[in-house]
Structure 1
Amino acid sequence: MDGLDLASHCRLLFHNHPTHPRLVRRAILYPLYVCAEIAIISTDLAELLGSAIGLCLIFPRLPLYAGVLLTATDIFIFLFFADPSRGHGRPVRVFEAIIIILVLTVLCCFIVLLVKVKAHWPSVFLGYIPSKDLFHSKPNAIYSAIGILGATIMPHALFLGSFLSTQDRVSLKTPSQEPLPTCSTDHQTFGDRLKRRFKQLFSVSRAERIAASRAYRTEYGERENNSLSFIRQHLNHAITDVVTSLLGFAIPINSAILILAATVYHNRHPLQETVGLFDAHDLIKRNIGSGSALVYAFALVCTGQAASVTATLAGQVVSEGFLDWRMSPFLRRLVTRLISLIPSVAVSVSVGRDGVDTLLVISQVILSVALPFIAFPLIYLTSSAMVMRVVELSDRPSTFSEANEKQELHCEHRSQITPTDSPAATPMQATGSEGVHMELPPSELHPTMAVIGDVREVTAPSFHEGLEYVDFSNSRCVAGIAYAVWAVIVTANCYALIMLFMGRE
């Protein structure tokens, strides 16, 4: 609605709380950020290991630690060419297109495996109906259900999905946003351009810092959301994206994994309770064929690549949103990758296959525990009319955010503004920190802009009863269903953890 993602909204909600701001910040905001970071690192760890195992299955002579290192490196190569955080438009579309190709490849691989496995489909469809046998099966089927739920609704996907949904997919770039060519850049060699690109990886531009500081100046009640026409233009895309991702990819792929495991493994090896990814590959190779085993390994690689890219980018979104941590996206991804890389390499070298399988299980348990903490703010914010309402004025000239952006382009960040005797009739004068004298016409100034010291604070016009709003928040019925699903997830997680601590795996 207002161009902020879920992580930024959490900061806006808890950072400067009207009552006990420090207590709320330390008791809610920072623990929530730590929980999100742990979930993202756990996701990155699992997908890093999965992709590395897939490479080792395709190339049997490749050591496991080498597969881990290769997987950790190729993510940076991908994000070097398709970085959605560095701009709108083409980078976002390239990023989404590559992820779609990877996910489609995974879906096609599992469709091929399902055709070859020849499952008993009447029994398969009966498996979608809940029954008491879930609690009596061995191993307990609740664990599988929780794992599928965590794989379908992963915590990092909530942050990254909200970030991508804020991208402007309609407006075109104005000519002023494009850098003008100069004589020095026209005659640069390939080495100079590569060196400049390398420096940009470790830097954050001033425009990005100003945009970040502007986002947290006002509270929800004083913020003006995007226009109604803007919201409606993007709403169809968001609905199509969510429905297609959930019903077209997530549920079919996770169902295919479960059907494949039940058909190939469960009825043929009743004495062995658990298998890892290596064991699953051996079973598919022995029961279906070498070609199917190769397809399975390739699906592992594509799954790991897609999820690793999204998890790494989600880590950047979370740190910038929760803490306003304006570090280079490349450095942020490097930190996230190293945190998950160290235990992966250590376990793969010291313990081997069995240790990797155990590490995968631990990461999935962490994801299941973290999901309710991440989902609750999303449900709360989307159910709030203050956050989700839009002024019903389609022909207004510009939003408050656009006016505020114009002010930042005219004035330096620490400029002092001195009004004349008649501010309504004469232009205002601004003297920048470097002595640059500028005149700003009254039309460019917002009537509610106040000056405190040498830092300008902009307050949006307060909403009054004369305005009409279109409310996009969840209805009471939808909010009730969302909270009920959230409660079911919490209950299932508590049950699984209790059974795990009791040793009843």
Structure 2
Amino acid sequence: MVITLRSLLKTIWTHGKKHTGVGLVCSVAYFDPGNWGVDLQAGSLFGYRLLFVVLLSGLIAVFFQVLSHRLGCVSGLDLASHCRVMLYPRAVTRYSLLYPLYILAESAIIATDLAELLGSAIALCLLFPALEIWHGVLITAFDVLLILALGDPLGGRPARIFEIIIAILVIAVLICMCIIIARVHVDWPLAFLGYVPSKYILKDGALYTSVGIIGATVMPHSLFLGSALATQDRVSDPTESLDPMEKPESLNFKQRIRSAFRILPMSPPQTPTGNPLSFVKIHLYHGIVDVVLSLLGFAIVINSLILILSGATLPSANSASLFEAYDLIRSAVSPSAAILFAVALLFCGQSSSLIATVAGQAVSEGFLSIRLSPLFRRLLTRLMSLIPALTVAIAIGKPGINALLVASQVVLSIVLPFIVFPLLWLTSNKRVMSVQGEDGSFVCFGNSIFTTLLGAAVWLLIVIANVYVLVTLGMGTS
């Protein structure tokens, strides 16, 4: 028993020291400002009844995020790079599938970054009422670049300072939400009853809001990022085999400037050879535990707390935008609770912005094999989301910002099935998901028949949900 306990403690310590990070980073995407808007609306209109949908969407996110992690860890290539390997060789698939898929993925990145940018800007305006909304957009547009200049999170080994910053922001959001909930009167038996499936979801417009929760929770960019981070070696000594030109101290000022804005030519698609079996055994299951616990412990909990807060303080409200939710919490609970609400939104927006810009880097490098400097790629991503946000903020103001935030979530929901399909295809392919052992035999880590059928059913559910949303919006009945 002593040996077993010691072994268990050693495993937990090893996991916490070496392998924790990917799950926290990916979990941020599942409670971004877009989720806040949908969860606030669900709670204000339907109370606690849609908590089951929050739980369901979180479990769907866990399912796809685990598949994404397995793909990167086993094959050694991220999802975007695999799409290029499959579709680039033939001109027909290159122009009919690869490049359109890249455009969709890039659209999802811009829509995601737009939502994070707007969320942070709204939070700044709530905390500092003297600021105009466009002031907040400008301030938050470039502050993320300062943090991301610290290192490249997509290198061969993890950038621990980046992961620590994300962890601090995520924990800060959770603490703020817990403090707010502690100050609110919540009918907890009724709230926990909301996690039980109910036919109420099909009535009185709740289905439309339920689809919105699923669409806003499962994020395409997190799947690209998760597969890229899963390829990193988190065990070996990070000081080994470093290129001297990659060390900042070895570069003079002019070389640093050139390095920050370098553009290397496109390279042929890399053929996946798979990671060694020893690498897979060390990283795969630790990574899966990290992803599952992070999404269950942070993403689902934070989304649930937002909806519970809305259900307890904003019952039967006609509108539940972030601005109006702040005002209602300020009057119904306390000014300090409203400030905590804005602070949590700011932390959420900042952490999500970090993830979106890094995911944009993974998408461009994977689909096109164009090696931009991380700083240059993040600057492009931020500028592409800044222009529409700043235009709407100056021309229309708060009502336009709310509409733009909703529109970004619609784009993400539409793009999602196109990203999930190749993920399911690749993780079900035995050739892609097999690695060679020491004895020469191959070990397959691909999907089982049950996992493949479950993934196909979830994919079909997302497609049907998207069709429902588009038809409802087209008829003007939502």
Q: Which runs of 5+ in 2 are unaligned?
A: 1-73
Matches within 5 A, 1:125-140: 125-137=192-204, 140=205
2:160 partner amino acid: R
Q: Quick check: 1:35 aligned with 2:80?
A: no
Determine the structure 1 residue equivalent to 2:321: 276
| Partner deviation per Cα, 1:250-285 (whole Å, 9 max, x = no partner) | 111111111111221124x3xx2x221110100000
Out of 290, 297, 301, the residue aligned to residue 248 of structure 1 is 297
| Partner deviation per Cα, 1:180-213 (whole Å, 9 max, x = no partner) | 999xx78xxxxx85554333211257xxx7xx84
Determine the structure 1 residue equivalent to 2:469: 496
1:102 partner amino acid: L
CA distance in 2, matches of 1:319, 1:178: 23
2:132 partner amino acid: P
Determine the structure 2 residue equivalent to 1:385: 430
CA contact (8 A) 2:263 2:370 kept: no
Q: Shift of the alpha carbon at 1:318?
A: 0.6
CA distance in 2, matches of 1:155, 1:8: 15
CA contact (8 A) 2:152 2:374 kept: no
Out of 342, 346, 364, the residue aligned to residue 387 of structure 2 is 342
Matches within 5 A, 1:38-437: 38-85=107-154, 87-89=155-157, 92-137=159-204, 140-173=205-238, 176-179=241-244, 193=252, 195-204=254-263, 213=267, 216-218=269-271, 223-267=272-316, 269=317, 272=318, 274-393=319-438
Query: What CA RMSD, in Å, does the superposition of the two structures yield over aligned residues?
Result: 2.2
CA contact (8 A) 1:152 1:246 kept: no
**Aligned partner of residue 130 in structure 2, secondary structure:** coil
CA contact (8 A) 2:267 2:370 kept: no
Determine the structure 1 residue equivalent to 2:75: 2
Q: Shift of the alpha carbon at 1:76?
A: 0.7
| Partner deviation per Cα, 1:349-399 (whole Å, 9 max, x = no partner) | 1111111111111111111111111111111111111111111217xxxxx
Give TM-score scaled by structure 1 length.
0.76
Out of 481, 485, 492, the residue aligned to residue 454 of structure 2 is 481
Q: Shift of the alpha carbon at 1:156?
A: 0.5
**Aligned partner of residue 105 in structure 2, secondary structure:** helix
Give TM-score scaled by structure 2 length.
0.80
Cα gap change, 1:315 to 1:181, in 2 (>3 Å) = closer
Cα gap change, 1:176 to 1:224, in 2 (>3 Å) = closer
CA contact (8 A) 2:169 2:348 kept: yes
CA distance in 1, matches of 2:229, 2:263: 20
Aligned residues: percent identity? 50
Count of residues paired in the alignment: 404
Cα gap change, 1:129 to 1:500, in 2 (>3 Å) = farther
| Partner deviation per Cα, 1:334-357 (whole Å, 9 max, x = no partner) | 111111101111111111111111
When Rg is computed on C-alpha atoms for both structures, the one with the higher figure is 1
**Aligned partner of residue 262 in structure 2, secondary structure:** coil
Matches within 5 A, 1:20-31: 21-31=90-100
CA distance in 2, matches of 1:56, 1:110: 19
CA distance in 2, matches of 1:259, 1:64: 27
Q: Shift of the alpha carbon at 1:288?
A: 0.6
Q: Shift of the alpha carbon at 1:36?
A: 0.6
CA contact (8 A) 1:142 1:496 kept: no
Q: Shift of the alpha carbon at 1:329?
A: 2.2
CA distance in 2, matches of 1:98, 1:288: 30
2:262 partner amino acid: S
Identify the range of structure 1 (291-300 vs 326-335) with the bigger mean alpha-carbon deviation. 326-335
| Partner deviation per Cα, 1:76-104 (whole Å, 9 max, x = no partner) | 1010113213x344x52211121111111
Cα gap change, 1:167 to 1:471, in 2 (>3 Å) = same
CA distance in 2, matches of 1:76, 1:194: 19
CA distance in 1, matches of 2:267, 2:391: 40
Cα gap change, 1:181 to 1:93, in 2 (>3 Å) = closer
Higher helix share: 2
1:325 partner amino acid: I
CA contact (8 A) 1:313 1:333 kept: yes
Q: Which runs of 5+ in 1 are unaligned?
A: 187-191, 395-466
**Aligned partner of residue 432 in structure 2, secondary structure:** helix
Determine the structure 2 residue equivalent to 1:422: none
Cα gap change, 1:150 to 1:109, in 2 (>3 Å) = farther
Q: Shift of the alpha carbon at 1:245?
A: 2.4
2:282 partner amino acid: Q
